[in-house]
Structure 1
Amino acid sequence: MNINKSVGIIGCGWLGQALASQLLQNNYYVVGTATSLERLAQISSLGAISEQLTLPLELADKNSYQCFDCQSLIIAITPQLRSGKVDYPKKIAQVVAKAQQGKVKQIILINSTAIYGGLKGDVTETSPLDLSQPKVETLLEAENIIFNSGIHAVSLRVAGLVGPNRLPGNFFKPGLSLKEPNAYVNLIHQADIVSCITHLIANVEITGVYNVASAMKVSKLEFYHKAALSLGKTPPEFETPNTMPTNKGKFVVSNKIRQVLPFQFKYDDLQAWL
C-alpha cells in the first residue's frame, strides 16, 4: 500500500461507494468499512478492500483495521439523529482515537447542514449556531472532536444528497402535505460532493469548515413540483396559501469551498439536472 495514495472510508454506503469508485479510478488504495455483509460485498465488488467495523466499538475490540493506516480518513457515518440516537460524538471520538494510533494524516468529516437548524436567511460557515437545539450541539461536538485531534481536519457541512437512486421526485409519499413550501431547497449532487472530497484528499494541508451545497436558490414548492413531473408523478401537496408562511427559511452559502478548490460544480442548477 502506498501510504500517500491511500484512503479509508468509514461508513462506505451510497456516498462512500461513489467516492471509492472515483478514487480507484485515480489509482488510490481504498479501504471501505461497513457493518452488513451485503454492503461489504458491494465494497469488494468495486475493487476496494472491505472491513467490517461496527460503531460504537466494544471496549474489548483490539482488532487491527487497515482503514486507520491510510493517509486520508473519510468519516461518512450518519448521525441518525432522527432515529433518536445520541451517540454520534462517541462514535466520532472512537474513530479519531483509532486514527491517532494509526498513520492517518488527514480526517474529512461528512457533516450536515442540519447544524444550521433554527437559522434563517443566508448562512455561512461563520454564522452563529442555535445551540439551544440538541441536534446542532451534537453535530458541533463531532466537529470539535476532529479539530482537536492533532490531525489535519476538514468538516464538510453537506446539504441534502441527490443523485443516482436518490431522485428528488421520489422524496415525498402521496398524500403527505409538504411544509414550508416557500423555504429554500438546500441540496447537492453526489458527483459534486465526490469531486470536493477527491480534491481535498489531494490537498492534505487544507483544513477547516466548509459548506457544500448547490448555488440554486429556489423554493421547495417550485423545485419539488418540477422534480415530481420529471418522473411522471403527481406533484406533492403543499400547505394551503392561507397557512403558507412567507419565511424562506435558510439558504446555505458555499462560496468558501469554491474559492479554495480549483473545480467547478457540475450540477449547480439542479432544476436543469432534473
Structure 2
Amino acid sequence: MNTLSLLGSGWLGFPLALNFIKAGYRVNVSTTSEDRIANLKSIGANPFIVNIDSLTNNVQHFFQSKILIVNIPSKSIENFRNLVNRIEGSDIQKVLFVSSISVYENKKRSITESDTEYFTETPLLEIEKLFQHNRKFQTTIVRFGGLIGYSRHPGHFINLKKVVQNPDSPVNLIHQDDCIGIIKQIVEQQVWGEIFNCCADTHPTKKEFYMRAVNLMGGSPPEFGETDARFGKIIKNNKVKQLLNYKFKHPDLMKIDFNESI
C-alpha cells in the first residue's frame, strides 16, 4: 500500500486525505487539535498531532512515508526552516508544497510560471525557496488562486465586505475539486521539481463574478468602489493542463452552481 503524509487537515486537507484514502493510499494526517483525532480516524486516516510552531520528535513517525504534502497556512519562515530540517532527517523523498498566487505582484498583466520578475516581497516566496532549493528531497510547488467551493461560497465572502474595490479587475480562483484533482495527478504521475500556477480558465471581473454569486444566494448586491487600472493580474494555467494533461472540473467560474454545495 502506498503511503503519504499530509501536513494540514483543514478545508482542503481533510477532503484531500479522504480522496487519497478512497484511492487506496495509507495517509498520515496532521492536526493541531486533539478534538479532531476521532474525526480523522473515522475516514481511515492515521492522525498525528503536529504543530510546526513547536515540533517534537513525534513528527518523525508522521514522516514515515516517501511523499509529504505541505498544506498549512503558517507564514513563519523560521518555523518552516525547522520543518525542512526535520524533513531532511526523515524518510521523505518528495514534497508537494501548497502555495499561492499571492507571490506575484498585482499589476495589470498575464503571468506564467516563467515570469519570475513579477514576484512580490512576501514570506511565502522565501518559504517556497526553502523547499525548492533543498537537495535532500525534490519539491513541486502548486500556487493556487483564491479557494472556492463547498463551505467557501463566494456570496458569503462578499457579504463580509462593505465595499468591493477594483470591481473591474479579473478574479483568479480555483474550486476545491480542482485543487484535489491537480494534487492527485502530481502524486500519481510522479511529477516533481516543477511549479504550477493553478486557477480556473476564466477570469471574469470581480463585479461580474460576485454579483452572480450574490444572486445565486438571493442576497443583496454589494457596493462597488473605484477601479485602479494599474491592477489586475491574470494567472495563466496552461502549464498544468499541458504537462499533467489535466482537465479542469470547473473551468468556467461563471457556470459553477455554488448552491449545490452549501
TM-score in terms of structure 2 length: 0.91
Q: For 2:146, which of 160, 172, 184 is the aligned residue?
A: 160
Q: Does 1:116 align with 2:101?
A: no
In 2: Cα distance, 1:100 partner to 1:203 partner: 23
Structural mapping, 1:167-246, within 5 Å: 167-173=153-159, 176-239=162-225, 243-246=226-229
Change over 3 Å in CA distance of 1:244–1:147 after alignment to 2: closer
Task: Please say if residues 197 and 239 of structure 2, whose CA atoms lie closer than 8 Å, have aligned partners that are also in contact.
Answer: yes
In 2: Cα distance, 1:9 partner to 1:122 partner: 32
Q: Does 1:73 align with 2:68?
A: yes
In 1: Cα distance, 2:189 partner to 2:160 partner: 45
Which residue of 1 is the match for residue 260 of structure 2? none
In 2: Cα distance, 1:230 partner to 1:64 partner: 44
3-state SS of paired residue (2:116): coil
Output one character per residue of 1:29-84: Cα deviation in whole Å (capped at 9) or x when no partner: 001101112333332222101100112235xx33354331112100001135xxxx
How many positions carry a matched residue from both structures? 256
Change over 3 Å in CA distance of 1:219–1:57 after alignment to 2: same
Task: Please say if residues 203 and 253 of structure 2, whose CA atoms lie closer than 8 Å, have aligned partners that are also in contact.
Answer: no
3-state SS of paired residue (1:202): helix
In 1: Cα distance, 2:256 partner to 2:245 partner: 22
In 2: Cα distance, 1:102 partner to 1:75 partner: 15
Task: Please say if residues 69 and 96 of structure 2, whose CA atoms lie closer than 8 Å, have aligned partners that are also in contact.
Answer: yes
Stretches of structure 2 lacking an aligned partner (at least 5 in a row): 258-262
Identity fraction in percent: 27
Once the 2 structures are TM-superposed, how far is the Cα of residue 91 of structure 1 from its aligned partner? 2.5
3-state SS of paired residue (2:102): helix
Output one character per residue of 1:161-205: Cα deviation in whole Å (capped at 9) or x when no partner: 111111111112366010010111110000111011111111234
Q: Which AA in structure 1 matches 2:6?
A: I
Structure 1 stretches of 4+ moved >6 Å = none
Task: Please say if residues 52 and 80 of structure 2, whose CA atoms lie closer than 8 Å, have aligned partners that are also in contact.
Answer: no
TM-score in terms of structure 1 length: 0.87
Which residue of 2 is the match for residue 42 of structure 1? 39
Once the 2 structures are TM-superposed, how far is the Cα of residue 214 of structure 1 from its aligned partner? 0.4
Q: Does 1:52 align with 2:59?
A: no
Task: Please say if residues 106 and 204 of structure 1, whose CA atoms lie closer than 8 Å, have aligned partners that are also in contact.
Answer: no
Which residue of 1 is the match for residue 239 of structure 2? 256
In 2: Cα distance, 1:213 partner to 1:175 partner: 23
CA root-mean-square deviation: 1.8
Which residue of 1 is the match for residue 20 of structure 2? 23
Q: Which AA in structure 2 matches 1:63?
A: N
Stretches of structure 1 lacking an aligned partner (at least 5 in a row): 81-86
Which residue of 1 is the match for residue 248 of structure 2? 265
Once the 2 structures are TM-superposed, how far is the Cα of residue 149 of structure 1 from its aligned partner? 2.0
In 2: Cα distance, 1:210 partner to 1:175 partner: 30
